[in-house]
Structure 1
Amino acid sequence: MGSLNPDFTDETVVVTGGSSGIGRAIAIAFGDAGATVLNADLDPEPKDTGLETPTHEVIRNADGTAAYVECDVADPEQLDVVIEAARELDDDDLAPGVDVMVNNAGLYTKRRFRDVSPEEFDRVNAVNARGAFFGTQKAANDMIERDDPGVIVNTTSDTQGRATWDHSHYAASKGAIRMLTRSAALELAGDGVRVNAVAPGPIATEIREGWAEEARKMEPTGETPDLPRYAGKPADLPGAYLYLASDDASYVTGETIWVDGGGHVC
């Protein structure tokens, strides 16, 4: 029987978009599990209302090891800098390079299909789909070059598999990540690199301006069933990432785990 508390001691975990929201929760969870965490984001400062301490400092304050590197994931050259930063985290007990890559950075905008401009489509897809594609590619190349196969976990969305209003450009980017995950898993299986994804449902984070408060009002009050529920919180997500990155999931690749309160089965 596998461990319910995976240990990532002596492993380096890169989390893109780790400064706030889902990424922040993931990064801190890996830090709590003993990993050396590298947060790759445009800004080290958390964007959540009421939060002041950067993610890497939260991990350090809990006696963990963490660092921050500035990165726009839409630029593959900046992802090269992230990989190099992970290689520089070497010490006597830690092999340099990426052991786990979490491609989580994302951009969300709400727009009716007929009103999406080419510029908005390109930017959303550059961050979400392009960022995940080259993040996966560069992490896999690092792992294979070092002959140290690791794990890649991508963040997609419940919109990858079901249509919703005002999200066509965002859904297109997240659907691309789902197929990237499956295709990369197939091609990299022979190298021992596993690639999986997590599909969150609606999560109350700052990425959806004006939506988070609405979502909180629609959460269960105790008078309604807990599942299915309309909105989740960042804390609902990390367990899926830790599982997919752990040895407990050594026979799992090309898979997407839905963490959406049962929304996709309703």
Structure 2
Amino acid sequence: MGHWLERNIIEPGKLPLLCALTAFVLTFVITRVITRLIRAGRGPFGNVQAGGLHIHHVVPGVLLIIIGGFGAVASARHGVGAALSAVIFGVGAGLVLDEFALILHLDDVYWTEAGRQSVEVVVVTAALVGLLLAGFSPFGVNDLSQDELQDRGTVLSTIAVNFFLALLALSKGKPRTALFGAIIPIIALIGAIRLARPGSPWARRFYRRRPRARARSTLRIYHHDRRWTTLSRKLQDLIGGKPDEPVVPAIRR
């Protein structure tokens, strides 16, 4: 284990990235445990108040990101300073992205259906950073040989093709596929050649006069969402907690 860590993490200068990812994941998990305990009325924890104002943990998260980011810029790539700055940054990022939905909606939607977006963003972020840590480079550069890497034209053309495929997947209404496709090009290729999601820019432009393509796209998305949405929601509830049931206003008669 020590040899693997030295060869694959420390020597390539990936120790700060590992520290940041570890701090990010642990912070998110600990924060969710504490917020779920507060929600259930258990334990010694409670919401932070200042003059009657509820201070969300995104606030210290932003401060820690600033401190960790500037610390990383000021420190060398190797050494204790870089690792410490990475940990501070990871903690801050975990706190901020745990309330991503709150920032997006500018409302306290933490325990609502919209709050699921925070869990999804955290999972996607951790997965992408994990791929980078494992040695994958954006736009398929990691798949090139040493001779190809020395050829600037080959590198630029590879990046351009893979960027185009990721952009094509994005235009077809597949943002997650585009994100992961930027790291693993085969995913971008699959997203680029498959049918677009209904309502996506590609579908509005190219399926407008193709009713059969629109029908196939709608049917495929229906089966896909029916198969995976339930599983995805169960995983999100397991990780972040189940949202509150929406309050239905009483109908006056």
* Category of TM-score, reference length = shorter chain: under 0.3
Report the TM-score when normalising by structure 2.
0.22
Whose radius of gyration is greater, 1 or 2?
2
Q: In proportion to residue count, which structure has more helix?
A: 2
Higher relative contact order (CA closer than 8 Å, sequence separation 6+) = 1
